[in-house]
Structures are given as C-alpha cells and as structure tokens.
C-alpha cells in the first residue's frame, strides 16, 4: 500500500514537471520572437517584417509635425518646432536646412539623425555639381537619399534613421549657367531640349526610415500628421492652382491645426520656401521673410479662434 | 544587469522608438559636477564647480579654452570631453589657417554634434558620455550652446548641466529676463548664484573649487581661477562677508 | 625560380634573354602644366575712401588669337567681395567652381534673407582661402596659372585689396594691377593713391575715372587686350558689377608717330 501510494505521488510529481516543462516550452517561441527578430536590424521575422525599421518609425511619430506643400510656382516647407525649455534662445536653432541653393529639407524624429541626413544630402548635391557643373535635380536627390537611408536597414552593424524627411526644391526652368557667371555661353542655347516642352518646376518628396520615398503634392509627418494630412487634402493641390503665397498661409494654418492636440506645449513655427526664378526667392531655398510669416501666423490663429467660436455656437 | 532587451547597444530601437544606450549616456552627464552658462548682449559666461578626488588631490578641469574667442565647460566623462575639445581645437585652428577667420560658434557646434550622432548609429561605437556648454563670441556676437551625448546641440540663453543642475536651471529660468541687458559683472554674479543653487547646503563655492570663463565683444575668452575669482565670489554672496565677521567676534 | 622577388613572374633570362628593366620606367621626370593655354590679360584695381574699384577686359586669347570676346573675368563672390582673374581661363573656371562650392557651404548656415549678414565671408577671408589653394597647388608643382586680385571690404567694412599669384605669393597695396597692367597701369594709379593715407582723399568718381583711364592705356598698348571690359565697384551698399562696358573717347592719333616696326620700319 505504501509502495503504491508513494509511486502514485511520484507519478503526480512527474506529471507536474512535464506540465511545467510544457508551459515553458509554449513560452519559448514567443521569447525567441522578441529576442531575435526585433533586436537586430536587417533581420526579417517569419511573417516578413523588419521590426527595427518599424520601431524607427515610432521615433518619427513623436517628433514635431513637419509638412511640405508643392504649389504651382514653388514649394513651402513648415515645421512645428516644440520648445522643450524656456532657456532655449528664441528664434535660434533652425531645423529646416538648406541642402543646395535650390533645395531644402525638413525632418521629423530624432534631431541628430536629421542633421546626419542633411549633411549627406549636401554631400550628394555638392558632388553632383562637381561632376556635372549643374544643380542636382530634386528627383535625383530624393532617389540618392532614399538609397542611402535604405542602406541603413541592410546591415546589423548600423541602425535605421529615426526620421522621416521632406525634401523640396525648384529645378531651374532656365538654361544652366555653365561655370557660374564666367562667360555668356552659346547664344543659341543648349541642345537636347525639346521645343515647347516644360522644363524644371517645383518638386516635393518624402523619405521614410525604410528608405522608400514618394513624390507628393502635400506631405506631412510627425505627431500631428493625421490632422495635417486631412487639411492638405482639402487644398486640392493636384489641380496645381495654389500660389506660393497662398501655400505659405495654408502651411502656417495647417501647423497650427496640427498643434491643437499638444496645445499645452509651446512651439515656434519655422517656414522656408523656394520659388521659380521669377518668384520672390529667384529659385533659391530661403527662410520665409519675417513679415510674411507673422502675417500668415496671425491669419492662422484668427481662423482657429473663429473655428472655436463656431463650435461654441453649434453647441448652443 | 540590463533593464530590458533593448538597451545592450546604441543601435537598437525599443518598440517605442527610443534608444536606451543614448539615454544612459545622458545619465553619465548627470554624474558630473554642475556647470552653468549665461549670455547677455555683450558677454558669455561659463561657471563650473570642480571636484577633487580627495583632500590632498588637485581639482579636475571643468572649463577648457578652445580658441581665443570661445571655450567649453564639461559635465560627465572628462576623457570624452578631451577627445571633443582636441577636435574642436583642430577645427578652430583650421578655420584660422584657411580663411583667416575665427570659426563661427554655430559651425563648430554642429561639427561636434555630427561627430556625436555617428556614435549612436554604428554598432562598433558608443555614445559620448559627456555634456558640454560652449560659450564665446563670433562675428554675430556672444553665444551659448549646449551639447548632449545624443548629438543634440541647442543654442541657449542660459543653461546648466551636471549633478543637481535642475536647481541651477530653475534659478536661471526665474531670472531669464534680466540676462540680455546685464553687465559683465552682473552676468558673472548670476552664473555663480545659479551654480550655488545646485550645491548641497553644507557646501560653499570657494576660490579652489570654482572656475569661471568669460568672453565678450572685443574681449577674448579667458579662464579665471583661484584668487582671480575671489572678488566675484564675495560680491555674489552677500552673507559670506558677514559670517566671517561674526566668526571673528567670537574669537575675540 | 630564384630568391630575388623582383625577378619573380618575369620571363626567364635563360630562355628569353636578359630582362630590360628600363621598359616600364618613365623616360623623363613627371611634367605638369608648363604654360597657360587660353589666357586673360591684366586686372586693375584701386581703393577709394568707401570701397574698391576693379576692372578687367572681356577677352580670352589663344596665343595671339583673340579667341573669346565675351568672357567674364570678374566674379562676384558675395555682397562685399569681387575677384578679378588674369591668366589661364580654364584654371579660372576651376577656381570659380571652388568658390561656388564654398559660397553654397557658407549659405547653409547663414540665410540670405538675414537682415544683418555680418557673419559671411569678407574679402580678406576669400583672399586667404585663395592663397592657400594656390600655394597648395604650386607645392605639388602643378600650379593653377592665374594671377588674381581680390577686391572688397574686410570684416570691419574697410576697403580691402590684395593679390594672389600662381606661386601663392600674396601682396596688398592701395592700388594693384596684374600682367601688363603692372607695368602700364600701376604708375597711373599710384599718382592718385601713392600710399594708404591717400585713399581717404579719393572719391568713387575719381577712382572709376582712373580705372577707365588705365583700361584705355592698356587697350592702346597691350596687344592681347580688348575695348570691351567689366568693371565693379564694391562698397558697403553692395556690389555694382557691369559686365559689358565699352571704352570711350579713344584716340589713336599717337599711333601715327610710332616708328620701328610694321610697315614703317624707319
């Protein structure tokens, strides 16, 4: 009897042990998944995802909202620059960068990664000029930067960029001055251009941490991108009707609307633009003049206040 | 040893998009003794609290002049700061050599920012474990910048980094409005007072444990230590003269 | 195979005869540029109390052939610097690309719309940069065959004028001229500004007048010059650059009296 019962106890213990092992075993795949598939860059999970790139996107989603608008005669870039400390010098710490004379870039996400992106873009533009004696087309720059960002998803010795970048610029519609201002060049114009064909114009691209990029009429990224996107859609940009100055005012308004969700934090509006050769910036990427920016901000604030009043009336 | 799976190196994002190793490097800055910087329209001032390992040892370097027009103050790993300061010295000299120009502060600051960013994106490297305040004067006037291990660089009106520096920053925020028009002497006073805020109650700023660096429009960056700062210390803390006086009374 | 590494992999001496080691050696030392090809002639410049005036003609010569007559040899770097190029034209274009690249880099940080653009390069910075480029190249025994004048304002907004040549030699003076101008124009300009103190007495009109006079004398006597020229005035207000000027009031009467060559041998 004692023998039987003791063997029964033994059996129970063994069963318990097996059960424990089984539960641990069932935990195993999950732990493995966490440990190996998302801890290293350049590794696919069984369902074909690259987790590190997805996490990099998360870093972008917390950054201040950045937008770009492609107008008929130029491009506007705007950024909601959150003020993290009172001690910061107001108006300093510009975040929209000039890449080449005719191109600007704004990034959302990890600020130092954005600076890395910009300095690479500057190198690309500069080496293009060295090689071809002409400014880099915006589409080419976007392509090269897409390739560069993609490379950082390929190796386990690096991490992806924690940014999404919006690159905007104006490709000159005129003959390029070969070697700057030296010599007037041939009086008949360069060959290879089709008569009556449109050359140059405004271009806008957005490059993601994965390295993929698209051309946009209106692009938005960062925390308030959803609100910004729906506002951009209202502008009907594909019709190519919005003027650059209207674009500046729209951009300011969109940034103010996108900021509504994080109203408790202070922010500075930073805006740059690049116009056609006959426009206000003469094909260069520059900061929007202070007077125009303040005017745009005033209108934006006013329309927001009116919106609030309308809401109040509706409630009544 | 590690808090989670995502903090083993500087090239792994957590599911929230954070990079823990970089955040830990920021903690190293908080281990360093406090440094403070303030700018006015005419001057930029750095003030630092120096630590000594023991009574008889010398005090660590906290303020390093880089070029005649600017210098840095550091909090965190001093050896990392030396790497960065040597780099800055080279760059500043190169600018003088090729362009006969004092390097603009924005330029030199963005160069160390870029250098630090690279260390957060490559497996074989680690982030710098040091925070810097860069203060000086260029052709656009006086400037103060903060540098963080993440590669973030920001131009500030006033700033404090290092151990217990939140107290210094609170002081600076309270007095923010007066800095722009402050005189050279007033600015030094504010810097020293902000520094004092970050110290524990039983500690005092002395000629031995305090460094002050000043640059101004038409005035080179100079590091002041020892007896050179005695007058500023006395002027900044009124109570000090009195307590000494009382002590004398008791003796007699 | 033997134990001399330099003979490994070479045809065997006992089969093919002794190896000719001179085969791959250069017959002579390396040679770089020995002379310019397409050239621009003189650059002249003079300081006046508020700034500098600088001029060049618009000619690029191929030997004695007047090959290109619309070449701009004055280059505006920014609102306070103009560079005048003499010497090889393609080297000038190379330098122009370097300056272009420098100017783009300079404008990353400093916005053109900034009201107080005091941070950008001054003429003295550009001059130092060019002198380092020229010296570096000549140290490689491969000089850029140019002689340049840098005219403009320094960081204190004072008039600045200095030269750099293909050796990296630098020189500064209230008036400067390169090439033939150093012989023909310099004496004329020195009458107006004999020394630095005299600069304060000279007005813009006087300076422009003497420069135009110099361009005329140079056209009279320099066979590689042209009566089409560029002239720039650099002041605090900015750069006034004219690229297609024509010499006025020419008089060739003096030419009749010239004897000694051509058809009038005696």
CA distance A25 to B162: 47
Nearest-by-Cβ selection for A182 from C93, C111, C112: C93
Q: Is residue C263 part of a domain?
A: no
CA distance B66 to B54: 28
Residues of chain A with Cβ-Cβ distance to C67 below 8 Å are: none
Q: Do B100 and C118 touch (CB under 8 A)?
A: no
CA atoms within 13 A on the CB side of B103: 25
Q: Cβ of B71: how many Cβ atoms within 10 Å?
A: 25
pLDDT one-digit tens code per residue, A209-252: 999 999 999 999 999 999 999 999 999 898 889 999 999 999 99
Where in chain B are the domains? Answer: 20-238
CB pairs under 8 A between B and C: 28
> Looking at residue A2, what is its pLDDT?
44
B43-49: strand order across its sheet: B158-161, B35-39, B43-49, B210-216, B219-224
Those chains having 3 or more beta-carbon pairs within 8 angstroms of chain C are A, B
Nearest-by-Cβ selection for B157 from A39, A60, A87: A87
Residues B51-67: what's their mean pLDDT?
92
CA distance B215 to B102: 13
- Residue identified by tokens 């750069």 is C239
Positive or negative torsion for Cα C204, C210, C214, C216:
positive
Q: Is residue C22 part of a domain?
A: no
Residues of chain B with Cβ-Cβ distance to A34 below 8 Å are: 5
What's CA C138's distance to the chain center, in Å? 15
> Looking at residue A54, what is its pLDDT?
94
> Looking at residue A3, what is its pLDDT?
43
Nearest-by-Cβ selection for C119 from B98, B110, B140: B140
Cβ neighbours for C247, distance < 8 A, ≥ 6 positions apart: C212, C215, C216, C219, C227, C229
Q: Touching check for A208 and chain B: CB below 8 Å?
A: no
In angstroms, the Cα distances linking B2 to B9, B228, C51, C265 are: 11, 46, 66, 99
* Residues of chain B in Cβ contact (below 8 Å) with chain A: 5-6, 8, 10-19, 110, 113-114, 116-118, 120-124, 144, 150-152, 154-159, 169, 172-173, 176
The yes-or-no verdict on residue B248 having pLDDT over 50 is no
Residue-by-residue DSSP string for A161-211: -SEEEEEEEEE-SSPP-TTTTSS---TT--SSPPTT----EEEEEEE-TTS
Let me know the angle formed at the C-alpha of C182 by C181 and C184, rounded to the nearest 5 degrees. 55
By the 10 Å C-beta count (0-12 exposed, 13-18 middle, 19+ buried), A227 is classed as middle
One digit per residue, the tens of pLDDT, for chain C of length 266 reads 678 887 788 788 888 888 777 777 777 888 898 999 999 999 999 999 999 999 999 999 999 999 999 899 999 999 999 999 999 999 999 999 999 999 999 888 755 444 445 568 999 999 999 999 999 999 999 999 999 999 999 999 999 999 999 999 999 999 999 999 999 999 999 999 999 999 999 999 999 999 999 999 999 999 999 999 999 999 999 999 999 999 999 998 887 787 777 666 66
pLDDT above 70 covers a percentage of chain B that reads: 93
Q: Touching check for C172 and chain B: CB below 8 Å?
A: no
- Residues C73, A179 contacting (CB under 8 angstroms): no
Q: Touching check for B98 and chain C: CB below 8 Å?
A: yes
pTM above 0.90, yes or no: no
CA distance A128 to A119: 14
- Residue identified by tokens 């075993």 is A25
Q: Do C108 and A98 touch (CB under 8 A)?
A: yes
> Looking at residue B200, what is its pLDDT?
87
> Looking at residue A8, what is its pLDDT?
47
| Number of residues written out for chain B | 252
> Looking at residue B201, what is its pLDDT?
86
Torsion of CA A18, A24, A25, A27, to 10 degrees: 150
CA distance A159 to A57: 12
CA distance B184 to C189: 48
pLDDT above 70 covers a percentage of chain A that reads: 79
Please state the three-class secondary structure of B180-245 as a single string. CCCCHHHHHHHHHHHHHHCCCCCCCCCCCCEEEEEEECCEEEEEECHHHHHHHHHHHCHHHHHHHH
Nearest-by-Cβ selection for A62 from B17, B110, B158: B17
Structural domains present in chain A: 51-172+200-315 (3.60.20.10)
Chain C interface, best mutation among B93, B99, B143, by max C CB count within 10 A:
B99
The least confident of A110-114, B25-29, C27-31 is C27-31
Q: In this structure, what CATH number is given to the domain that contains residue C172?
A: 3.60.20.10
In angstroms, the Cα distances linking B164 to A90, B155, B198, C209 are: 25, 21, 5, 69
From the list B29, B32, B35, B60, the residue with the least C-alpha distance to B196 is B35
Q: Is residue C258 part of a domain?
A: no
The yes-or-no verdict on residue B245 having pLDDT over 50 is no
Nearest residue on chain A to B11, judged by CA atoms? A159
Q: Cβ of B121: how many Cβ atoms within 10 Å?
A: 23
> Looking at residue A313, what is its pLDDT?
59
CATH 3.40.140.10 at B20-238, yes or no: no
> Looking at residue A11, what is its pLDDT?
45
> Looking at residue C13, what is its pLDDT?
82
Chain B interface, best mutation among A53, A159, A162, by max B CB count within 10 A:
A159
Nearest residue on chain C to A99, judged by CA atoms? C108
Nearest residue on chain C to B140, judged by CA atoms? C119
pLDDT one-digit tens code per residue, A12-39: 444 444 444 344 334 444 444 455 688 7
What is the count of structural domains for chain C? 1
- Residues C92, C147 contacting (CB under 8 angstroms): no
What confidence tier does B59 reach under pLDDT thresholds 50, 70, 90?
very high
The distance between the two most distant Cα atoms of chain A, rounded to a whole number of Å, is 116
Comparing A14 with B227, the larger pLDDT belongs to B227
CA distance B159 to B146: 7
Q: Do B139 and C118 touch (CB under 8 A)?
A: yes
Those chains having 3 or more beta-carbon pairs within 8 angstroms of chain A are B, C
pLDDT one-digit tens code per residue, B172-218: 999 999 999 999 999 999 999 999 999 988 889 999 999 999 999 99
Q: Do A130 and C97 touch (CB under 8 A)?
A: yes
CA distance C45 to C53: 5
Comparing A2 with C55, the larger pLDDT belongs to C55
Positive or negative torsion for Cα C143, C144, C145, C148:
negative
Residues B65-69: what's their mean pLDDT?
98
Tokens coding B178: 């007066």
Positive or negative torsion for Cα B65, B146, B113, C155:
negative
Domain coverage including residue C207: 32-110+120-245
In angstroms, the Cα distances linking A44 to B5, B19, B109 are: 18, 20, 38
Q: Do A39 and B121 touch (CB under 8 A)?
A: no
Q: Is residue C157 part of a domain?
A: yes
Q: Touching check for C13 and chain B: CB below 8 Å?
A: no
The distance between the two most distant Cα atoms of chain C, rounded to a whole number of Å, is 87
By the 10 Å C-beta count (0-12 exposed, 13-18 middle, 19+ buried), A19 is classed as exposed
pLDDT one-digit tens code per residue, A261-274: 888 889 999 999 99
Nearest-by-Cβ selection for A284 from C96, C101, C112: C112
Chain B interface, best mutation among C119, C120, C125, C130, by max B CB count within 10 A:
C119
Q: How far is B139 from chain C (nearest CA, A)?
A: 6
Nearest residue on chain B to A209, judged by CA atoms? B17
Residue A62, helix vs strand vs coil: coil
Mind telling me the catalytic residues of C? Answer: 33
Please state the three-class secondary structure of C146-202 as a single string. EEEEEEEECCCCCEEEEEECCCCCEEECCEEECCHHHHHCHHHHHHHCCCHHHHHHC
Residues A280-289: what's their mean pLDDT?
95
């Amino acid at each position: 009897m004692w023998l039987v019962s003791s063997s029964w106890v033994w059996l129970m213990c063994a069963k318990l042990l097996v059960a424990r092992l089984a539960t641990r075993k069932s935990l195993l795949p999950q732990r493995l998944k966490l440990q190996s598939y998302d801890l290293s860059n350049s590794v696919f999970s069984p369902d074909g995802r690259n987790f590190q790139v997805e996490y990099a996107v998360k870093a972008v989603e917390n950054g201040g909202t950045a937008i770009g608008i492609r107008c008929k005669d130029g491009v506007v870039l705007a950024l909601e620059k959150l003020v993290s400390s009172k001690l910061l010098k107001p108006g300093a710490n510009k975040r929209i960068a000039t890449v080449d004379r005719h191109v600007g870039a704004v990034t959302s996400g990890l600020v130092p990664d954005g600076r890395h992106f910009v300095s690479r873009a500057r190198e690309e533009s500069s080496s293009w000029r060295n090689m071809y004696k002409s400014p880099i087309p915006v589409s080419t720059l976007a392509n090269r930067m897409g390739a560069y960002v993609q490379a950082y998803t390929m190796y386990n010795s690096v991490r992806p960029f924690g940014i999404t970048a919006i690159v905007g610029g104006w490709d000159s519609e005129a003959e390029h001055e070969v070697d700057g201002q030296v010599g007037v060049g041939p009086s008949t114009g360069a060959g290879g251009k089709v008569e009556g064909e449109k050359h140059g114009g405004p271009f806008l691209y957005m490059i993601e941490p994965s390295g993929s990029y698209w051309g946009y009429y209106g692009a938005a990224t960062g925390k308030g991108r959803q609100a910004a996107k729906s506002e951009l859609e209202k502008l009907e940009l594909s019709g190519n009707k919005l003027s650059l100055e209207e674009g500046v005012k729209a951009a300011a308004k969109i940034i103010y609307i996108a900021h509504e969700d994080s109203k408790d934090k202070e922010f500075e509006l930073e805006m740059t633009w690049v116009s056609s050769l006959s426009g206000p910036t003469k094909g260069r990427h520059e900061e929007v003049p202070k007077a125009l920016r303040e005017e745009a901000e005033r209108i934006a604030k006013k329309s927001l206040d009116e919106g609030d009043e309308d809401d109040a009336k509706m409630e009544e | 040893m590690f808090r989670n799976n995502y903090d083993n190196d500087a090239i792994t994002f957590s599911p929230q998009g954070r990079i823990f190793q970089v955040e830990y490097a920021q903690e190293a800055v908080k281990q360093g003794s406090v440094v403070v910087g303030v700018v006015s329209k005419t001057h930029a001032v750095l003030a630092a609290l120096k630590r000594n390992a023991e009574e008889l040892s010398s005090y660590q370097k906290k303020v390093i002049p880089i070029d005649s027009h600017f210098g840095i103050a550091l909090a965190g790993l001093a050896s990392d700061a030396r790497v960065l300061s040597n780099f800055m010295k080279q760059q500043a000299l190169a600018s003088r050599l090729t362009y006969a120009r004092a390097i603009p502060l924005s330029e030199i600051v963005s160069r160390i920012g870029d250098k630090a960013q690279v260390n957060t994106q490559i497996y074989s490297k680690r982030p710098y474990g040091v925070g810097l305040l860069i203060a000086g004067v260029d052709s656009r006037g006086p400037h103060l910048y903060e540098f963080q291990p993440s590669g973030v660089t920001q131009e500030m009106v006033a700033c404090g980094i290092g151990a217990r520096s939140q107290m210094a920053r609170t002081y600076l925020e309270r007095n923010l409005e007066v800095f722009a028009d402050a005189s050279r002497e007033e600015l030094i006073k504010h810097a020293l007072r902000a520094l004092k805020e970050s110290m524990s109650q039983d500690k005092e700023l002395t000629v031995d444990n305090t460094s002050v660096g000043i640059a101004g429009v038409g005035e080179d960056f100079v590091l002041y230590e020892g007896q050179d700062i005695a007058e500023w210390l006395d002027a900044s803390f009124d109570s000090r003269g009195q307590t000494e006086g009382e002590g004398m009374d008791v003796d007699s | 195979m033997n134990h001399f590494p330099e003979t490994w992999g070479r045809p065997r001496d006992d089969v093919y005869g002794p190896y000719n080691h001179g085969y791959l050696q250069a017959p002579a030392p390396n040679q770089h540029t020995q002379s310019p090809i397409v050239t621009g002639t003189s650059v002249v410049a003079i300081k006046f109390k508020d700034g500098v005036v600088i001029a060049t003609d618009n000619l690029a010569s191929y030997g004695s052939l007047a090959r290109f007559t619309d070449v701009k040899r004055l280059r505006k770097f920014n609102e306070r610097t103009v560079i005048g190029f003499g010497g090889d034209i393609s080297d000038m274009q190379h330098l122009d690309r370097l300056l272009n690249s420098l100017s783009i880099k300079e404008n990353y940080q400093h916005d053109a719309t900034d009201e107080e653009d005091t941070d950008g390069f001054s003429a003295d910075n550009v001059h130092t940069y060019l002198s380092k480029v020229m010296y570096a190249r000549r140290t490689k025994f491969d000089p850029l065959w140019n002689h340049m004048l840098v005219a403009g304002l320094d960081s204190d907004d004072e008039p600045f004028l200095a030269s750099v040549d293909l050796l990296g030699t630098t020189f500064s003076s209230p008036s400067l001229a390169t090439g033939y101008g150093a012989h023909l124009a310099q004496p004329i300009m020195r009458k107006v500004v004999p020394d630095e103190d005299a600069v304060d007495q000279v007005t813009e009109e006087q300076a422009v007048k003497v420069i135009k006079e110099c361009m005329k004398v140079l056209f009279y006597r320099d066979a590689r010059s042209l009566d089409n020229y560029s002239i720039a005035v650099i002041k605090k207000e900015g750069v006034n650059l004219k690229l297609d000027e024509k010499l006025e009031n020419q008089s060739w009467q003096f030419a009749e009296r010239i004897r000694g060559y051509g058809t009038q041998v005696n």
